[in-house]
Amino acid sequence: MEKANENDNDLSKNDHRVIGKELGLFTFSDVVGKGLPLYTDKGATIRRELERFIVDEEIRRGYKHVSTPDLAKLDLYKKSGHYPYYKDTMYAPIVIDDEEFMLRPMTCPHHYELYLSKPHSYRELPMRIAELAKLYRYEASGNLAGLVRVRSFCLADAHIICATNEQAGGEILKALDLITYVAEIFGLKKDEDFWYRLSKGDRADTKKYHKDDKAWDDAEELLRKVLKSQKVKFTEADNEATFYGPKIDVQMKDVRGQENTAFTVQYDFIAPTRFELSYTDKDGAVKLCKAIIHRSSIGAIERIMAFLIEHYGGAFPLWLSPIQVKAIPVRTNHNEYAEKIHKMLIENGIRSEIALEDENLGTKVRDAKNDKIPYWIVLGDKEMESGKVTLESRDQGQFGQISVEKLLEKLKVEIKNKS
């Protein structure tokens, strides 16, 4: 086990590393490498549900989901400007056929090259290019913290190419609306579970930030106006921007009291010029795009998983739970009926587990509670005779006997509504 992440004596019982271990969601291995999480089938189920949810929602909102490689030539990051600013957090180049490649720390230049693969009209803009992208960044060993800070992560990333500042402002609003929607689905409350920060650049620090004072002033004012229009509380932080522009950070705290950025919306005034991102306007003239909005709707899957494990205390809502229902036969002579119901649940898309071990009913129910499974069904003589099940809920207590059809209907509605 990775010592930096698994010293349980130093961790709160509500820490995601403790809960994750108890529920068997993920682990670390020094043989694999520090900061590289390994997910069990249960942990991978939560990831998969989060990924499906955000991809479907983004496509519904007009995003074009793409797929690009996990590595690229070093020249790409020199062209984008990332290499001189972030080379200390990038992994060393890999030499292939006398060319230098790097594991990617970000996807933006990949998306720009996709945009450049053909000409574009003003009618296509703004263009929202999105990807669930696997990224690789070096984090010092002392900074690694479970799933919150890792060296390999999957980012729900997007780059919105805008023809004008008016489009950019509108897209920032839409990105914040998406983030708010996602947060509400998770049951997170604005100004309580998350809050906003306007992260600004330092005009005097030309090593960290691109030098263009007017562009910085205009971009920061645009983000400030957007935040004020949302009537939300926000702080302003100097020297927290990216090299290409200011950003709106959505901040959260973990159980240790450590504040981290969960979601971001960034304004980029450099990329259109560096990559010559252009479009044909209605008058037939070829013009440079005004700005790129970088945005992460659900953040890094790893980090949001850590927040949610702690937020729910491991008791996930039905749609996210690795196991949604546990079928519990009272005695071994009820196993066949339990297996029939278990199979029916699986065939209807419900993640079911069956307790066939030769234990008493109380032990099986206790195990379901300890595993924080949302529902379990007890199957004994009465249930076999009636062709029904006895349903009990982790959160709502006993429901009594109901038909299998009613059970399926109830579960499907709750999953669909993500309630």
pLDDT digits (tens, 9 = 90+) for 331-344: 999 999 999 999 99
Domain with CATH 3.40.50.800 in the chain: 325-417
Q: In the prediction, which pLDDT does 9 show?
A: 58
Percent of the chain residues topping a pLDDT of 70:
98
Where helices occur in 241-334 by DSSP H, the ranges are: 271-274, 301-312
Pick the CATH number of 3-312 from 1.10.1660.10, 3.40.50.980, 3.40.50.720, 3.30.930.10: 3.30.930.10
* DSSP summary character for residue 121: B
Q: In the prediction, which pLDDT does 207 show?
A: 79
Flag whether pLDDT at 5 surpasses 70: no
Beta carbons of 128 and 62 less than 8 angstroms apart: yes
Flag whether pLDDT at 272 surpasses 50: yes
CA distance 98 to 66: 29
Question: 364 to each of 224, 265, 312, 326, how far by Cα in Å?
Answer: 55, 47, 23, 9
Average pLDDT over residues 262-276: 95
Where helices occur in 89-129 by DSSP H, the ranges are: 108-115
CA distance 255 to 12: 8
CA–chain centroid gap for 172, Å, is 19
Q: Which fold has domain 325-417?
A: Rossmann fold (3.40.50)
* DSSP summary character for residue 304: H
Q: In the prediction, which pLDDT does 334 show?
A: 97
Domain with CATH 3.30.930.10 in the chain: 3-312
Flag whether pLDDT at 254 surpasses 90: no
CA distance 49 to 341: 24
Query: For all residues of the chain together, what is the average pLDDT?
Result: 94
CA distance 205 to 191: 31
Flag whether pLDDT at 6 surpasses 50: no
CA distance 389 to 376: 10
- pLDDT band for position 315 (50/70/90)? very high
Percent of the chain residues topping a pLDDT of 90:
87
**Residue closest to 365 by CA, chosen among 348, 380, 347, 386:** 380
CA distance 186 to 419: 9
pTM of the model: 0.93
**Tens of pLDDT, residues 179-230:** 999 999 999 988 888 999 999 998 888 878 888 899 999 999 999 999 999 8
**Residue closest to 328 by CA, chosen among 360, 351, 350:** 360
As given in the structure block, the two tokens for residue 106 are 């970000």
Flag whether pLDDT at 351 surpasses 90: yes
